[in-house]
Structures are given as C-alpha cells and as structure tokens.
Amino acid sequence: MTRQRSTPWLALGTGAVALAVYPASTLAGSLVGKTTFSDKNGPAEGRVKLKLDTDCTAANSGNAVGSEDVIVNKSDGTLRNVIVYVKNAPKRESAKDDETSQESIVLDQKGCTYHPHVLTLMTGRKLTVKNSDRMLHNIHGLPQINPGFNLSQHFGATEDITFVKPEIFKVKCDVHPWMSAWIGVFNHPYHAVSDKDGAYRIDDLPAGDYEVVAVHEVYGEVTQKVTVKDGEPAELSFEIARPKK
Ligand SMILES: [Cu+2]
C-alpha cells in the first residue's frame, strides 16, 4: 500500500490512467468494499455547521446544514464520498461498456449545496448541471487539464457539459463560498464513490490483477492491489488516515 499526501485530487494527469488491453473473451467479476477513516481514536473531524446567508437559510427551512468534505459515520468509522477507481483499467471491448450512450449524470444546486457532493463519470458522458434554488448560483469548475467552465444559473437553469480528459477536480460557487463539489472523470467505467455507508461497488471488471486507488478530498489517496476472478465479488476495503505532519 502506498500513500500520497499532496494534492490528491489534482494528481490524476492524462497519463495517470494506464490502459491494459484484455481479450474480449475475458470474463468479469465485481469489486466491492468500504472506505474507512482509520483514526478512530484520534480527534474526529466531522460535519461542521455551515454559516449560510439569509436566502440559503430560508432555502433549507431554517434547518442546519453540515459541511460535506469529511463525513465519518460514527457507528463504524466508515468514510463517505471517497472516489475509488481502477488505475490500470482494461480498455473497453464492447459497446455495452460505453457509458456515453447512457443518460446524463445530474449535478444539482439545491439548498445552497451540491448534490451529489462527489460524482464520477466517463469522458464523453453528459453531465447536466442544474439549479433547483430560487436564487442565483455560479458554478465554477476548476479543472487543470480539461477546459474550465464558469456558469451563472438562475432557478430552473440547466447546462450540459462533457469532459474529454481523465481528471479529478473541484467545483465551487462564486456566490456562496461554502459550496463545493468534486468531479472525477475517467476514460473507463471502473470507478465509484463510496456512499452514505462508506460502501462502493465496481461491476463488470474483467478478471485480472489491478491497482485500485481510493482518494478523498481532504485525506489523500491510498493504492492497493487486488486480483479479480470471473464471477466472484472481490473485496477490497481502504483505510484512509489523516496524513502525518
Ligand atoms: Cu451558490
């Protein structure tokens, strides 16, 4: 296992995702696991109550809204919103793997937060950005490899965006400084984001040996190796720690 400390989200350059070609006859398995924050006995960082302005407070009916950069489930230490992806991913061999033909993935601005906070998608897949709030948002993407974008959106606006290069980058709102989201773009379909239970699942991965990366916006990335066999779910969980200073 290796760990990298610095700029984890921006380190995914064009050449970082190596492609290995597997025969079309290679059969597939699944990769499942959990992402866990390993410093359970350390000072727990958790959701911080956001200081919303008047309009955004009203948009949440006066209810408190928590930050989303670090969400550790207290019951079992699992960590949400971790991108998990196969580093040496096999090249796609069949049309069924072509996510670009599927419906768009939605990034919504609602209650002055992004929904979801972290998403992944393939190059060429349509991302639909929309504003469900009755106020102006300004979605400002900060990629370093793909073209940047900066869109003002009133209530009900939608905009479709696609990306051509693999990269993980931040999105922010220029109107509301607490708003942020992360987008992971990959040139293969073998990626996921850990859910509210800290669980992830990557399906239809051809049998083979892989390096798999889990990357969190605050705590950085962890890489592990795994062997996927045909028809069997391979389990690979990640412990993610606060980097040592
Ligand atoms: Cu905003």
> Do 35 and 79 touch, CB atoms closer than 8 A?
yes
| 70 falls within a domain | yes
Number of alpha carbons in the 13 Å side-chain half-sphere of residue 13: 2
Q: Which of 242, 123, 132, 136 is nearest to 191 (CA)?
A: 123
CB atoms within 10 A of CB 228: 24
Q: Which domain holds residue 188?
A: 2-240
CB-based neighbours (< 5 A) of ligand 1, an ion: 137, 173, 175-176, 179
Number of structural domains (the chain) is 1
Specify the DSSP class assigned to residue 177.
Answer: T
| pLDDT in single tens digits along all 245 residues of the chain | 444 444 445 444 433 444 444 444 457 889 999 999 987 555 556 678 889 999 999 999 999 999 999 999 888 889 999 999 999 988 765 445 555 567 889 999 999 999 999 999 999 999 999 999 999 999 999 999 999 999 999 999 999 999 999 999 999 999 999 999 999 999 999 999 999 999 999 998 999 999 999 999 999 999 999 999 988 889 999 999 887 76
> Do 149 and 171 touch, CB atoms closer than 8 A?
no
Structure tokens given for 3:
């760990």
Structure tokens given for 65:
């809204």
| 139 falls within a domain | yes
d(CA 89, CA 205): 9
CATH number at residue 209: 2.60.40.420
> Do 1 and 211 touch, CB atoms closer than 8 A?
no
pTM confidence score = 0.86
d(CA 84, CA 92): 18
The continuous run of DSSP H or E covering 105 comes out as strand 105-110
d(CA 95, CA 78): 35
Kindly tell me the sign of the dihedral angle through the C-alpha atoms of 33, 230, 226, 116: negative
Q: How far is the CA of 70 from the centre of ligand 1 (A)?
A: 20
Q: How far is the CA of 71 from the centre of ligand 1 (A)?
A: 21
Q: How far is the CA of 156 from the centre of ligand 1 (A)?
A: 14
Q: How far is the CA of 104 from the centre of ligand 1 (A)?
A: 22
Number of alpha carbons in the 13 Å side-chain half-sphere of residue 115: 10
Q: How far is the CA of 91 from the centre of ligand 1 (A)?
A: 38
d(CA 84, CA 112): 26
d(CA 88, CA 225): 10
Q: How far is the CA of 175 from the centre of ligand 1 (A)?
A: 5
Q: How far is the CA of 98 from the centre of ligand 1 (A)?
A: 33
Q: How far is the CA of 44 from the centre of ligand 1 (A)?
A: 28
d(CA 183, CA 174): 17
| 245 falls within a domain | no
Q: How far is the CA of 30 from the centre of ligand 1 (A)?
A: 38
Q: How far is the CA of 111 from the centre of ligand 1 (A)?
A: 9
The residue type found at 62 is G
| 229 falls within a domain | yes
CB atoms within 10 A of CB 216: 25
